[in-house]
Each structure stands twice: as C-alpha cells, then as structure tokens.
Structure 1
C-alpha cells in the first residue's frame, strides 16, 4: 500500500521509448520518396469547404463549374475548381439576434505557381475579383449575377474585369453597369485577339 504523504515514482522510460520511436517514424516519412497524389502539381485544384447548418452557418457556391465534389459529413463538403475557373462563394452566419456575417467573393482559381490571395475556407486561395461584406451590398452582387444570367450569359463566362468593375462601383456607392450580350461578345473577341 502506498503512503499518501510520499509521491509515487513515475517510470518515464516507456514514455521516452515511445517518443523515440515516433521521432524515428517521422524521420522515415520525411526521407521517403513522395508518391504523386491523385492531384498532381499539373492538375492542382482549388478547394472550397462548404458548411450548411440551417439558419446558423451557411456557405454555398452561387455559380461555378465544379470539377470535384467530396462529402465529408452531413453538413460539410469540399468542392474543387480547375485553374482559370471563376466561381462565387457566399458565406452567411447568424445568431439568435439576426445576421452576423454576410459576404460574397468572386474568385478565379489559380494554376500552380501563380500568385494568389488567401481566403477563409479556400485552399490554397485565388485571384479575388470581388469581395463584398454586409447584406445590402451582397444583394447588389447577387442582382448583378442575376442580370448576367437574364442577358443569357453564364456568370462563369463573364469577363473577370466586369466582376472587378462591380466590386469598385459597389465600394464607391454606385450602381454597377449591367453585363450585356454585346459586352460579352466584345470580351470574347478580345480574348481571341490576346490569344
């Protein structure tokens, strides 16, 4: 029976042996040749983590051509986009008193080696064409997306410069110009010329 006034001696030898084995395993992993993953550097995709907790936390893609879709849990999934793809990522959060966060980002997925800006829930990041916060401004962006669709243009194909224009006009408190089919044809011709 142990004496309560005298602490027991703890044998750390088993613990230190486990630490030594763990360090040896980590060193082996670092020295081992890298096996190419399914997502090689040539086809690296931009991943966006989406979460949906009804009326509390809602992340969704408003538009974008999804290359891959992985379900992680009942409330979480990860969607992936190929380099050059433009997508709209909406984040909304509420508590018992109402909306806390309302944001929309229109992002161009980047290729490996291209510079990018980090963005929450987007790995590795992207070329942010538009970033708007607060519900009145987000609703203006959603209206601009709806207007492009009403003109018969898929928002994924809209010129990146138009989304920058929408961002700047909303930031200045002005109404953005609508994206028309004529503007879209001009963009397609410019893209042809630039090669």
Structure 2
C-alpha cells in the first residue's frame, strides 16, 4: 500500500505522510454498529482510508476527546470516552486502542451514564464560550476522579479558565 508504512493501527497501516511526532487516531463509523469519533480537539492531519474510516493527527500538547461506542444485536457493548493530551517526542504515555503512539491520559471513563455526564460537562464549557480543548488539563483529571468515585464534579468556570491561561502563559 503506497503512502502507508507497515506498522498497524486499527487493522490498517499507519499513514507515512503524517507530520513527525503527531498523535494519530483511527476513527471508524459503521451506522448503528461502531462509532469512533473526536468530540473536541483540533487535528492538524487527516487522511481518509475508506468510506467508513479515517486517521486524524494531533500536534504535541494539544488536548482532544476520543469517544468510542459499539453495539451488537443485543444492544450497546462499548461506551467510553478518553480525553488525552497529545505527547511530544520521547514523552512517556499511556497506550490506547486506535491511538498511536498513545497520550497523556487526562480522563478515561466507560459506561453510558459517565460518558453522557462528560459530554454534558463538555457542552457546559462550550456554553461559556470556551473551547473544551483549551480547558485546564487538571479539570479533566478532576472530572475523571470524581465520576470514578461516584461524586458529581464541580463545573468549570470562567475564573478557573482565566487562572489556567495565566498559569500557562508563565510556564516554560
């Protein structure tokens, strides 16, 4: 296959034309069966493999949400959301299916009630006029910890976001 190398991702070879140090995510859409999609984030690379699948890539340090859902004849079998920070060269990372090489995992939840709550919190952040990809990574860790413990997470606020932006502007 021209344009691809022999390493594999989601059953497909990885594209050779992706920018260096890009975190690649294999997305699939099969109506009523499989949905792997990006909920938020800003891909810098995209390549269509076929009518049901494509690969998107994220620059180091960018944050994105990867939603996976699947069903069979008996109902939903997978419902999960992962929020990751794309890693730079040589950084340690957690590996995930369909994500190469992996990422800094900020949130990892499964089960529709928890996934739905994260999607609602994402909508709330957007309602503030804030891109969820720009929200403080610590907030996504907070949401992960609280929902894992069965406790309602605090809402993200404009003040919290401004504090994150100020901190980020002085961090190396």
- Same fold per TM (> 0.5)? yes
2:82 aligned with 1:105: yes
1:111-150 deviations in Å (ceiling 9; x for gaps): 0101001000000000000000000000011011111101
1:40-79 mapped onto 2 (5 Å cutoff): 43-79=20-56
TM-score (norm 2): 0.88
1:1-195 mapped onto 2 (5 Å cutoff): 39=18, 43-195=20-172
- Report the 3-state secondary structure (helix = DSSP H, G, I; strand = E; otherwise coil) of the residue aligned with 1:72: strand
Aligned residues: 157
| Structure with bigger RCO (C-alpha 8 Å, 6+ apart) | 2
1:60–1:38 CA distance, 2 compared to 1 (3 A): closer
Partners of 2:30 and 2:154 in 1: CA distance: 35
Partners of 2:23 and 2:30 in 1: CA distance: 23
**Deviation, structure 1 residue 44:** 1.2
**Deviation, structure 1 residue 178:** 0.8
Asked if the contact 1:60/1:89 (under 8 Å) is kept, the reply is: yes
**Deviation, structure 1 residue 39:** 5.0
**Deviation, structure 1 residue 193:** 2.8
TM-score (norm 1): 0.78
Asked if the contact 1:152/1:181 (under 8 Å) is kept, the reply is: no
Q: Which has the higher helix share?
A: 1
Structure 2 partner of 1:14: none
Q: RMSD of the alignment, in Å?
A: 1.2
Structure 2 partner of 1:27: none
Long gaps (5+) in structure 1: 1-36
Q: Which has the higher strand share?
A: 2
